[in-house]
Every structure is written in structure tokens, then in C-alpha cells.
Structure 1
Amino acid sequence: MTDLPDTDQEAEIADALREAAAFRQTGRATINDIARIAKVSKKTVSRVINESPLVKPRTRHLVKVIIAELGFTPDPQARALALRRSFLVGMVYDNPSPQYVVNMQRGILDGLEETDFQLVLRPVNRADANYWHRLRSFIQQHKPFGLILPPSVSEDEELVDMLREHEVDYVRIASVELDTPARMIRTHDAEGAAQAARHLCALGHVDIAHIQGPESFRSAHERRSGFVRGLGESGRSLPADLIAEAGYTFDSGLQAMERLIYAKRRPTAVFAGNDEMATGAYVAVRKAGLRIPEDISIVGFDDTPIAGRLWPALTTVRLPIREMGRAAAKLLLDQAAGKAPAETISFSPEIVVRDSAAPPPKAG
């Protein structure tokens, strides 16, 4: 079946356009006016506006032509009341990396471009005793259209249960598959970390350390396990004394790097679990009077904008954060339209080689 008008509908449209043109001289059109001109019910016009599949193609075409002729723009607040939902899309996050948050935010805004939806940011602290109360109040008061949950909030099963209880759509972004394809964006963090390990091993490093993200983040575990796997492919290992846990922040990366520098066995290369920590590691190396990469090679993860602005430029694993945010927003809208994907959308990281990693210094 085609949506193109037939001869009978062309005449119907012509009559409707003449009436719409005459009406434009009298004032601003309402849904009731559109329904009268199209000779359909107000409910049918609402369904067309809200992209409901429950309207015949011929009727849909006629209503859209009249809407365009009248220059009618739906009132978002009225639509929200009609649907008993707001036009707010929330991004709930507890990620301490500001660049990650900004990139994710930009991607979501890309995905919501040319829609009525607005993005609202909701930072949380999962360790806060009031975390649940505040988040529940936010959902009850604002009745968001849906939420986008990046790590580590995406790993909170109790939160997901609460969203289902309140019938709030959501999309989870995580390094492992946690939900159905309609609600899931998956990143393959472990494979990206394995690429970092292979790169450092190929350069000839043996004493390779890892600055790990917080234990409460599944991504930190995935990145460490992938890094260990990549080292194992070249017969290397990751001893406990070459692991320094940090918090995905600049300051924690600096402190972790200082512990590694002044340990009994100083590494010749370090893989940091994100670029924020890698940037902190840069400062620690410089404070110690050492050089990058001549004395210590550093590799990060995420490929945030800071990676290309450091000197020397940071070799890092690129995770397309902005693209992930855009895909999450689109998936949320597709859910509402009943367009569930057959398979989980996923993003594969890749290493971006720059100047911060080189062969280890020669002994003696």
C-alpha cells in the first residue's frame, strides 16, 4: 500500500486546502478546527500528531496536509497532559568524569534534535543515604518521558525495578548486556582494554601497571579483565603490586600514579582506566622529574577531547561517547513508537595511537 494520494483524495485535499486557506484569515487553528476541516474526530487528529500507527495512511496524509497549510504547531504542555507524560528526557548519572558527562549530554541532545523533548540532567551519588528518596521524588514530580542511564547507574537493578513500577521508559548503557535489546546500549570495554595491552606489549614493555577505576563500576572490572587478557596473549601478567585503584578522576589518577612511581618496582608503562586518570598520571610523572614516553609510557581510555590536547598527545582507547548518547536517545524514542530492535545496539572501541607510548627505556 502506498501513502501517495489517489485521484479521489486529491479532490478531497483540494477542498480541505480551500477551507483551511479561508480559515487562516480568521485566527490561530486548534485541533478542533483541523478535525472539522478533515471531517474526522479530534482523537484521530491527536493520533496523527503523536505518530500513532492506528490511523489509516489516507487519513494521516489528509490531516498532515491540513496541519501544514494551517501552520499548526502542537502545544507541548497540552500534548504532555493528553499523554499523561512530560516531554522531559532525564540523564541520571554518577560518573565523576566531567568530560564523559558532557560528551554523553551532547549526544543525547543530538538525538532529541527537531523533537519536542527536552533534556534534564540529574546527577546522583549512589553512596548518599538519600539517593533513593530524591530519585523517587524526581520521577513522581516530573513524570519523565524516559531516562537514559549511563554507567554505573545503569547497573542498578533496584532503580530499574522502580522505573518499571512507575512505567517510565529507560535505556541502559553498560559494558555488558543487562537488559532486552529495546532498553540496552552495550559497550565492549574489555576488548578496548585488551587492545591497550597488546599495544604496550608490542612496544616491548614488561613491567606494565594499571590504574583501575572504582570497584563499584562494572566498567572498571571489564577494563581490568580485558587488559589482563591482552597481557596474557603476550605471556605477560598484571601483578597485584602494579595495580592502583583510583576513582575515575584527575586527582585520584595523580595519587595512584605517585604510588606506582615510588613503589619498589617502577613500571615502564601504565594503562589508566580513563583519560581523566591518565591526565592526573601525566602530572605525577612530571612532578617526579620523569618524561613521557621516554621514561614511562601512558595509555588512557575514552578518547575525550583532552587526549589530543595533552603534550605529548595521549594514546588512548576511543569509546564513541557522543554517538552512544545519540543512539540511546533514538532508542528511547523508538521504544515509544513500538520499534524495538531485534539485536542489542553495541559500540566497539578502538585504540588511537598518538605519542604517549614508546618502547621502554634501555637498561643501564
Structure 2
Amino acid sequence: MPITIADVAARAKVSKTTVSRVLNGKGELDESTAARVRAVIEELGYVPSARAVNLARGRTRVIGMLVPSLTWPWMGEVLQGAVDVLEAEEYGLLLFTFNRGDDSMRQFAAQVAAKSFDGLLAIEPEGTLSYLVTLHNRGLPMVLIDDRDQIAGGQIPTVGTTNHSGAADAARHLLGIGRHKPLVITGPSRFGCTVQRTDGFSSAFAEAGHPIPDTYVLPGDFTVACGSDGVKQAIAAGLDFDAVFCHNDLSAFGAVQAVQDAGRRVPEDVAVVGFDDIPMAAHHQPALSTVHQPMREMGEAAARTLLAHFEGTALPNRPTVIPATFTARASTQP
């Protein structure tokens, strides 16, 4: 059987509280008593639970992370960035998803109540923002990742990227290769990133003297199917377009397929641009031109912000912004 703190206390003829104080360096103890306890610990080969020691010190050295789902194409990049920073500082990660809706949140809330982690990184699942704001206001250190700062109202520190200027860069690339009639397939209108990407792209075309008609902007939902369906609808409606800008890479994959199924060439007849730069974008046929979101860097920055707070640095009161960059590949350049 494993040696317990009770075994150490019995052999050293002290209380378990005294053993705990020796282990954690807390409280004033007679040096001879402390030496006797340390000798018994060595003699018995007692190894204290790291979790128990950290809890006694008021810290778990565990960070919670709440995400909507692990199926989002770029989620792995965010997680890896956060984990790289946390592991380097000998912190663990406790991961929660929103896959089961209210049941998932009840499980998460139970872990919050149990103080199972020191702070939280979150890509806010829809409908949970007010709860997260409440937790933050009650003292749970927290950093949000992605575009949710648009609705957080500055109440929670955030790490995001430049959706507006990233989309504008995509527009200027298309204008630079002579494409003046783009079709736009958006993301869900309730997302801040959708508004930013639409505005950035449309503004660049308007400034160049080629405003985009409303009929050329089609709603999407970030799926392959919405990209395919949008192109098919545009062709059926007789829209004359020479480019497609999709608000994410998955919908861009669908758009490429629909353009090719219609007998048109990519990029010779229709150039296609996505947004995100998920790993598959570079390996797609043709390789996808896209706006690179610095997802790993965002995960790293969020984790560093939280750990710095534990060392005494105040959480920032303005968003941390890591710029997006445009990457040109074969879907716009023969």
C-alpha cells in the first residue's frame, strides 16, 4: 500500500497538519520537529501528491480551457499554442467542451466550484458569455480567444486577430490580379468576425471603384456545403463573377469544387480565396490562397497573459491583437 501523510505523522509523532506545514514551508515550526518529519519522509519514501501540495499552497498549477468543440478545423492549433506555454511552465490543462450543451456546462460549473483550476482560457461557446463574465467578475482570472471581444464589451481580457484588415488584404490581392467581380460567401451574421470580414473586403473593393452589389454577398455557415451551394446559386441566378471570397477555408473548398463542377477553371476563370489557413489549405488541389489566422500564436499569447497575471502582472484592459496575413497560392495564381 502507498505511504500516506497519516503514516508519516504517526511515525514522527506529530499531527498531519504539522507534516503538511513541513511539506509546504508554511507556519513557524520548531526546527528539530521539522527535521524529524523530513527524516521520516525520507525513511518511508513518502511522495506527496503534487495536486495536494499545490492546493495547500492555494494553487493547483492547472489551467482550465473551455471551447465549443474540438471539431473546429483550427482548434488544434489554438490548443497546441496554449499547451506549449503551459507545459514549459509546468502547468497542466483541464479541457472542457460544449458538446453536450447544458450538461457540459453543469460539469464545467462543478469544476469551477471545486476550484479545480487557477484560471481559464476560453473560446466562448454561444450563449455562455454572461456566465463567463459573472465568473470573471467573481474573481476567476480569464482570457478569451478569438472574436468574442466584440460582445464581451471589454469586460474580459481577449486575444484576437485582424479580421477586417485580413479580408481587405484578400480583396487587394484579387484586385491586383485583375478580378473586379467577386462573389462573397459569408459566415453566420451573428459572429463578429463575419461582420469584420465583410466590411474589410467590401471597403477595399469600394475604395478601388468596384463596389460589390448586395446580390453578390451570400450568407453561409462556415461549411463545405455552404461554399458549394453559394456558387451554384450564383451560377443559377446568372451572376457574372470572376472570384469567390469565402469567410473560411472549408467553404472555400466547397466553392472550388462547385466552380470546377460547372466546367470553369480555378484560378484561370474564377479565383478563390478562403480565410483561416488551416493545415489542409496548403495541400488542397489547387492549393488555397487564404488569410492566415495566427491561431497557435493566439493560444500562446492567451496562456502567457494568464500566467503573467499569476506572477503579479495585471490582466490587460484592452484586446491583444495579433495580425492576420495573406498567403497567395495556386487558387488565385496559375
Which of 236, 240, 243 aligns to 2:217? It is: 243
TM-fit CA distance, 1:142: 6.2
Aligned pairs for 1:340-355 within 5 A = 340=314, 344-355=319-330
Sort the Cα spacing of 1:74 and 1:149 in 2 relative to 1 into closer, same or farther, 3 A. same
Tell me the TM-score normalized by structure 2: 0.77
**In 1: Cα distance, 2:165 partner to 2:311 partner:** 33
Sort the Cα spacing of 1:341 and 1:144 in 2 relative to 1 into closer, same or farther, 3 A. closer
Sort the Cα spacing of 1:357 and 1:122 in 2 relative to 1 into closer, same or farther, 3 A. same
Q: What corresponds to 2:43 in structure 1?
A: none
Conserved 8 A contact 1:181-1:344: no
How many residue pairs match? The answer is: 297
**In 1: Cα distance, 2:158 partner to 2:47 partner:** 33
Which string of whole-angstrom CA distances, capped at 9 and with x for unpartnered residues, describes residues 209-252 of structure 1? Answer: 11101122111111111111111121122222111211122233
Q: What corresponds to 2:231 in structure 1?
A: 257
Which string of whole-angstrom CA distances, capped at 9 and with x for unpartnered residues, describes residues 313-361 of structure 1? Answer: 11111111111111111111112222236664321111111121159xx
Which string of whole-angstrom CA distances, capped at 9 and with x for unpartnered residues, describes residues 107-131 of structure 1? Answer: 11111123342223323269x5667
Q: What corresponds to 2:193 in structure 1?
A: 219
Quick check: 309-318 or 96-105, which moved more?
96-105
TM-fit CA distance, 1:101: 0.7
Sort the Cα spacing of 1:143 and 1:351 in 2 relative to 1 into closer, same or farther, 3 A. same
Sort the Cα spacing of 1:75 and 1:256 in 2 relative to 1 into closer, same or farther, 3 A. farther
Conserved 8 A contact 1:97-1:276: no
Q: What corresponds to 1:325 in structure 2?
A: 299
Q: What corresponds to 2:98 in structure 1?
A: 124
Amino acid at match of 1:237: P
TM-fit CA distance, 1:88: 3.5
Q: What corresponds to 2:14 in structure 1?
A: none
Conserved 8 A contact 2:160-2:322: yes
TM-fit CA distance, 1:198: 1.1
Aligned pairs for 1:56-205 within 5 A = 75-84=49-58, 86-94=60-68, 98-124=72-98, 133=106, 135-140=108-113, 143-150=116-123, 153=125, 157-164=129-136, 166-175=138-147, 178=152, 183-205=157-179
**In 1: Cα distance, 2:270 partner to 2:23 partner:** 70
TM-fit CA distance, 1:280: 1.8
Q: What corresponds to 1:314 in structure 2?
A: 288
Which string of whole-angstrom CA distances, capped at 9 and with x for unpartnered residues, describes residues 59-98 of structure 1? Answer: xxxxxxxxxxxxx997431134225554442332236863
Sort the Cα spacing of 1:237 and 1:132 in 2 relative to 1 into closer, same or farther, 3 A. farther
**In 2: Cα distance, 1:287 partner to 1:80 partner:** 59
Tell me the TM-score normalized by structure 1: 0.71
Conserved 8 A contact 1:76-1:116: no
Conserved 8 A contact 2:142-2:156: no
Q: Secondary structure at the match of 2:287?
A: coil
**In 1: Cα distance, 2:20 partner to 2:300 partner:** 32
Conserved 8 A contact 2:70-2:76: no
**In 2: Cα distance, 1:227 partner to 1:87 partner:** 43
**In 1: Cα distance, 2:206 partner to 2:122 partner:** 33
**In 1: Cα distance, 2:199 partner to 2:210 partner:** 13
**In 2: Cα distance, 1:242 partner to 1:319 partner:** 25
Amino acid at match of 2:113: Q
Sort the Cα spacing of 1:290 and 1:182 in 2 relative to 1 into closer, same or farther, 3 A. same
**In 1: Cα distance, 2:83 partner to 2:71 partner:** 19
Gaps of at least 5 residues in structure 1 are 1-29, 36-40, 45-71, 360-364
Q: Secondary structure at the match of 1:113?
A: helix
TM-fit CA distance, 1:158: 0.3
Aligned-residue identity in percent:
30
Q: What corresponds to 1:24 in structure 2?
A: none
**In 1: Cα distance, 2:239 partner to 2:73 partner:** 32
